[in-house]
Amino acid sequence: MDTPSSDEQFVKLHDMIIGSANVSAFLGELSVLAASTLGETAGSLIECGVTLRQRKRSATVAGSSARATLLDKLEQELGQGPCLTALETMKPVVLADVATDSRWPEYQKLLKDNGCASVLGVPLALDNSHTAALNFFASEPGLFTDAVVRRAEGFAELAGRAVRLALRIADAQNLAEDLTAALEHRTVINLACGVVMAQNRCSQEEAMAVLTKASSHRNRKLRDLAADILGQVSTGTISTHFDP
């Protein structure tokens, strides 16, 4: 079978981004493609886990199989293993044989208990706010040869670009959702401000001061207080006429 070109694989990764509902779903598809790609090169079954760390958020872990996901999560919990070392050094790290290597004893016991004989950790180049790595698992020792590692590095270069793109799209979507929510809240507050202006025959600035003071005294969010005021004068649902 011919090895897919870099362009073909990047197109496939791009299509996966478009077709995924969110970053977590994309990482799941990425892990399947990564496992398949390396499995073809190695001529044997390889599983893959993907770990993404974002600043001030818990790590996101996905895998091509239940075992890969479990082994990746266990490594994160223990704080030791090839994948984490790869993230620290930004270089591929090979655990050629779980039975003979002694660098990560606790993790290697768990690997052995789960039928995994060798591991390859490969970092992805992202940005200052995110770190990620591919964690490849095999049931045979010595499967991650120099040729397989080179193939993994080539795939990781493409995967890093794809993950960066997926994260930027997700950030843009989150920003749009935040702006929409802000506009909706602003609409409710502005309408409530108008009600206070009409009832008290005061300026907008004075009405806003009344709302803010009441919000503080009642220990309630300004938006919730505004919604209560509108509920007293309207039986309909307040909505923002805005197309994002």
Q: Residue 59 is encoded by which pair of tokens? A: 């790590």
Q: How far apart are CA 226 and CA 193, in angstroms?
A: 8
The answer regarding whether domain 6-173 maps to CATH 3.30.450.80 reads yes
Q: How far apart are CA 159 and CA 30, in angstroms?
A: 8
Q: What are phi and psi of 21, to 5 degrees?
A: -70, -30
Q: What pLDDT, in 10s, does the model give residues 151-177?
A: 999 999 999 999 988 888 766 666 656
Does the pLDDT of residue 84 top 90, yes or no?
Answer: yes
Q: What pLDDT, in 10s, does the model give residues 32-66?
A: 999 999 999 999 999 999 999 887 666 788 999 99
Domain parsing of the chain, residue ranges: 6-173, 179-232
Q: Give me the architecture of the 179-232 domain, per CATH.
A: Orthogonal Bundle (1.10)
- Name 93's bridge partners: 121
Residues in the chain: 244
The continuous run of DSSP H or E covering 73 comes out as: helix 66-78
Q: Residue 3 is encoded by which pair of tokens? A: 């090895």
Distance of CA 36 to the CA centre of its chain: 22
Q: Residue 167 is encoded by which pair of tokens? A: 């994260």
Q: What pLDDT, in 10s, does the model give residues 177-226?
A: 656 666 666 778 888 888 889 888 999 888 889 888 988 888 888 888 88
Does the pLDDT of residue 1 top 50, yes or no?
Answer: no
Q: What pLDDT, in 10s, does the model give residues 89-148?
A: 999 999 999 999 999 999 999 999 999 999 999 999 898 888 999 999 999 999 999 999
